[in-house]
């Protein structure tokens, strides 16, 4: 079987004439997954990371269709970005508020270039090369400004693309179809209708006048970079209703679905005869399993929310490319399809902050020294006269000066050398992915401040962005039972030690307000209070970095997502498994007026344990 899988992949690689990343498939095969399911997982997650594909496979282990050769269904859209997108999203919200939902609300603003088509899982990467070639062909004569003319009828409202610019878009679509047929054996049909951007469709006739008034307020000539975006969807659930899970649900019977907040559920309204009142039968997008679920645990969302965005080709006429787009621009200039391109609904790609959205990135600190050397670590590195020395390379090379001496490090330990390296690697990856950090909040724990500083250093922002030390972000104090709350370094002391902290920041939750052995309710309450303040003070665009403890990835993100606190026992069990530099990211969706959990902007950091080594015992021992 292994030899057959290797031959299959060799054929796929030779068929793919563009840039390929065999390491993704090789890594999954190395984990023991069969080639056909590994390729299916990569296609279903957009070929972004091994972690996402592996998670997909683990979640779908009970999916009855896992081994079925069901390909994804793809389409190519031209999507606006920047100020025009913001105006269109505002129109979406206001039209839905005044005139109720219509068919246009099922999909984001776009111009359809090619109808949906299928592509076999092992040929998906060839589509990326087809998109790159098509984009390169029309890049030189793509319109600097794409003119749009408003059109209205009894059942349709939208912008038409006039002749001339429309010819360029059709050339893009035809070239993509030709290249996709050659590289991926796909039958792609370019859109045969007049190219258009729909504002409203299949609405009530008495809403036409209101919709027209709202549409006339739009300025289609606003600055805009257009991106040709390749999306995929599960072809089995076309025209189903898409629900998003709001609350966790544990099945009471074997025919019920387990629900986790953020999951998508596909529901066919015509297949609900067996469901009791208040319940529906649906299929989980996350697991592929089908069962009953309480309908009031969900909300209706757009069908495109469950689509996967694969790759984009952005048509930019500027020589300056802003933050999140520089990776893709570099890839275009070098003739490569980017492995992490920009996306308007973030699917493991660069954050949307470069296009006007804002995000909160919550990060756990790096490896702490007492985690490796135990509670008695300070005795291992202290001389008899109270000075610090380095007995192992994973001890920090030096410690910052503290007014009360080394004793304060016992309850407020620093990062290990590996912890500092982890933080610098994360900062470097954020820089390489074009993530723009605009503000920073940290727990007062030294390891958190150090992590934030290393990240800022790698982003080269240590002189422009200040760290706001917020005591309310400290760990759940119940876990400090048996020892006093740490005596933290103050902002002035941290600044004197070389940290880029703000000495003018007034904490939302003063240090004196921290209660020893606080209750779980008190802990999640202060975390919710802190995040409310973080959001209110965060700039309207860019990424706010929050560096705290493992508990923060749960307690600081759930308030943003309007989710209730997790059960205390589940909370303790889950957060203890979060590794150093684990991170969660929440992005604001201004159109929906809420925050959404999205994949972090960089890949995870995984490393193995390294036990102590004695060369003397190894050579001379028996």
Q: Please determine, for residue 330, whether its predicted confidence score (pLDDT) is greater than 70.
A: no
pTM over 0.75: no
pLDDT digits (tens, 9 = 90+) for 462-480: 888 999 999 999 999 988 7
Q: What is the mean pLDDT of residues 308-321?
A: 70
Which of 525, 64, 19, 591 is closest to 288 using CA atoms? 64
| Residue appearing with tokens 């700039």 | 539
Pairwise CA distance, residues 502 & 127, whole Å: 48
Active site residue 201: no
pLDDT digits (tens, 9 = 90+) for 584-616: 999 988 777 789 898 898 888 887 778 788 777
Q: Which one of 364, 431, 454, 468 is the catalytic residue?
A: 364
pLDDT confidence bin for 316, thresholds 50/70/90: low
Q: Which of 21-25, 211-215, 496-500 has the lowest mean pLDDT?
A: 21-25
Active site residue 607: no
Which of 137, 125, 171, 148 is closest to 13 using CA atoms? 125
Average per-residue pLDDT for the chain: 85
Active site residue 60: no
Phi, psi at residue 620, to the nearest 5°? -100, -15
Pairwise CA distance, residues 343 & 309, whole Å: 7
Question: Is the CATH number 3.90.1140.10 carried by domain 72-233?
Answer: yes
Q: Which one of 285, 286, 365, 431 is the catalytic residue?
A: 365
Q: Please determine, for residue 326, whether its predicted confidence score (pLDDT) is greater than 60.
A: no
**How distant is the alpha carbon of residue 472 from its chain centre?**
25
Q: Which of 212-226, 257-271, 320-334, 564-578 has the lowest mean pLDDT?
A: 320-334
How many residues would you count in the chain?
622
Same fold yes or no, 72-233 and 240-304: no
**Level-2 CATH architecture, domain 2-59:** Orthogonal Bundle (1.10)
Radius of gyration of the chain (CA): 27
The H-or-E segment that residue 232 falls in is: strand 226-233
The alpha helices in 16-68, defined as continuous H runs, are 22-30, 35-45, 50-59
Q: Please determine, for residue 336, whether its predicted confidence score (pLDDT) is greater than 70.
A: no
Q: Please determine, for residue 338, whether its predicted confidence score (pLDDT) is greater than 50.
A: no
Domain boundaries, the chain: 2-59, 72-233, 240-304, 356-369+413-598
Tell me what pLDDT residue 169 has. Answer: 94
Sheet containing strand 358-364, strands side by side: 467-469, 437-442, 542-548, 358-364, 583-589, 594-598
Angle, in degrees to the nearest 10, between helices 35-45 and 50-59: 110
Q: What is 356-369+413-598's CATH topology?
A: Rossmann fold (3.40.50)
pLDDT confidence bin for 96, thresholds 50/70/90: confident
Question: Is the CATH number 1.10.357.10 carried by domain 240-304?
Answer: no
User: Is there a contact between 262 and 299 (Cβ–Cβ < 8 Å)?
Assistant: no
């Amino acid at each position: 079987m292994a030899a057959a899988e290797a031959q299959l992949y060799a054929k796929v690689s030779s068929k793919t004439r563009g840039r390929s990343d065999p390491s993704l498939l090789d890594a999954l095969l190395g984990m023991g997954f069969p080639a056909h399911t590994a390729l299916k997982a990569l296609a279903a997650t957009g070929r972004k990371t091994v972690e996402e594909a592996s998670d997909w496979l683990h979640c779908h282990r009970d999916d009855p269709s896992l081994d079925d050769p069901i390909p994804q269904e793809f389409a190519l859209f031209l999507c606006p970005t920047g100020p025009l997108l913001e105006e269109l999203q505002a129109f979406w919200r206001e039209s839905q508020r005044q005139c109720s939902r219509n068919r246009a609300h099922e999909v984001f603003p776009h111009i359809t270039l090619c109808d949906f088509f299928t592509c076999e899982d092992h040929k998906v990467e060839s589509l990326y090369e087809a998109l790159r070639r098509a984009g390169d062909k029309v890049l030189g004569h793509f319109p600097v400004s794409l003119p749009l003319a408003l059109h209205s009828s009894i059942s349709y409202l939208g912008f038409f693309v006039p002749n001339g610019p429309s010819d360029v878009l059709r050339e893009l679509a035809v070239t993509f179809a030709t290249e996709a047929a050659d590289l991926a054996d796909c039958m792609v049909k370019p859109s045969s209708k007049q190219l258009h951007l729909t504002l409203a469709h299949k609405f009530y006739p008495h809403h036409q006048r209101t919709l027209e008034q709202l549409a006339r307020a739009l300025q289609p000539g606003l600055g805009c970079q257009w991106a040709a975006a390749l999306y995929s969807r599960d072809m089995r659930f076309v025209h189903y209703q898409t629900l998003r899970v709001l609350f966790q649900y544990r099945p009471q019977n074997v025919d019920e679905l387990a629900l986790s907040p953020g999951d998508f559920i596909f529901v066919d309204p015509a297949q609900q005869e067996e469901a009791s009142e208040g319940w529906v039968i649906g299929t989980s997008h996350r697991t592929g399993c089908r069962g009953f679920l309480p309908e009031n645990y969900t909300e209706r969302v757009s069908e495109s929310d469950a689509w996967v965005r694969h790759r984009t080709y952005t048509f930019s006429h500027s020589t300056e490319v802003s933050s999140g787009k520089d990776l893709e621009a570099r890839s275009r200039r070098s003739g490569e399809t980017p492995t992490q391109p920009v996306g308007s609904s973030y699917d493991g790609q660069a954050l949307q902050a470069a296009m006007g959205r804002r995000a909160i990135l919550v990060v756990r600190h790096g490896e702490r020294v007492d985690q490796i050397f135990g509670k008695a670590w300070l005795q291992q590195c202290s001389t008899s006269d109270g000075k610090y020395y380095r007995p192992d390379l994973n001890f920090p090379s030096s410690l910052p000066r503290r007014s009360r001496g080394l004793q304060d490090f016992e309850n407020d330990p620093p990062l290990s050398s590996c912890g500092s390296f982890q933080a610098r690697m994360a900062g470097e990856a954020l820089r390489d992915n074009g993530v723009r950090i605009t503000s920073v909040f940290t727990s007062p724990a030294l390891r958190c401040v150090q992590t934030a500083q290393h990240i800022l250093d790698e982003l080269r922002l240590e002189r422009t962005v200040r760290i706001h030390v917020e005591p309310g972000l400290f760990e759940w104090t119940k876990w400090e039972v048996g020892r006093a709350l740490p005596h933290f370094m103050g902002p002035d002391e941290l600044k004197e030690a070389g940290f880029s902290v703000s000495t003018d920041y007034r904490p939302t939750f003063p240090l004196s307000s921290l209660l020893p052995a606080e209750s779980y309710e008190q802990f999640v309450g202060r975390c919710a209070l802190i995040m409310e303040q973080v959001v209110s003070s965060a700039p309207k665009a860019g990424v706010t970095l929050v560096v705290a403890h493992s508990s923060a990835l749960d307690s600081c993100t759930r308030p943003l997502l309007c989710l209730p606190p997790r059960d205390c026992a589940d909370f303790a069990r889950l957060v203890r498994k979060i590794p150093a530099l684990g991170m969660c990211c929440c992005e604001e969706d201004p159109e929906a007026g809420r925050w959404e959990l999205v994949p972090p902007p960089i890949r995870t950091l995984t490393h193995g344990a390294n036990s102590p080594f004695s060369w003397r015992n190894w050579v001379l021992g028996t």
